[in-house]
Amino acid sequence: MPLRFADSIFLVTGSTRGIGRGIAELLIEQGATVAVHGRSLERVKTVCSEIDAEKALPFAADLSEPESAGELVKAVHSQTGRLDGLVNNAGSGRAVAFRGLKLADWRATQQLNLESAFVACQAAYQVMRKARTGSIVNMSSLAAHGPGRMMGADYAASKAGLVSLTKSFALEAARFGIRCNAVSPGIVDTEMAEGLSEENIKNLAIPLNRLATPRDVANVVAFLLSSESAYLTGQVLHVDGGQYMAG
């Protein structure tokens, strides 16, 4: 369905690389106009020109300051006149031992990964409530559903928070025709997975025996944004090659 998003406007945060860029590229391939977001406007403009000079719109904001997420949503709506969907993908994390995790670092992770998504959801809610339609997808993680293992406790907690936020938002917004779901990828073959050897990957015991690609995740996000998932809200879809199932 190459044009199932014709005339739709989506905002994908953190979309200059990795999963976010993969999502933006797929949505544009399927007919959407996408607000591409990153911290550096120069970088975002470069990515937009690489993806599609007409369908990719550049927006810059530093989401480590959560309030800027609301301004970002408002800017996209102001420029385009509508907002059909929001993908809260921006985030970061690193492997750090619990005993060495500093409170300041914990707070910084929550601000970027969780609080900015909360603020963006609130701002999108205002727009979508008036239109009485819209779909939001929050990018969680396999780490949200267990001890995190390869990531720090701060990252795992922020992603678990996104799952809870997704369900709370979905319950309240459903009566206005707004849906909210989450995607929990396993390890994706992006810059964050650099350095993993074939033996490392084998030891992960992923039933499908490979890492996810950005397109694997993008396909599921596109489904959740589309009318084909019109009866899904408050759900968490695992895109992890069966790793969650296998424990």
Domains in the chain with CATH codes: 9-246 (3.40.50.720)
155 annotated active-site? yes
Which of 125, 155, 231, 244 does the annotation list as catalytic?
155
Query: Which among 132, 14, 126, 138 is positioned nearest to 70, based on CA atoms?
Result: 126
Using CA atoms, how far apart are residues 38 and 61, in angstroms rounded to an integer? 6
Here the tokens at position 79 are 């420029």
Here the tokens at position 71 are 């301004």
Give the N- to C-terminal CA distance of the chain in Å, as an integer: 34
pLDDT at 202: 64
In 31-170, the DSSP E strands lie at 33-38, 56-60, 85-88, 134-139
- Does the pTM surpass 0.75? The reply is yes
Mean pLDDT in runs of 10 for the chain (247 residues)? 85 97 97 98 98 95 98 98 98 91 97 98 98 98 84 94 98 98 88 62 77 94 97 96 79
pLDDT at 196: 60
pLDDT at 199: 66
Residues 20, 90 contacting (CB under 8 angstroms): yes
pLDDT at 197: 62
Here the tokens at position 151 are 């990531």
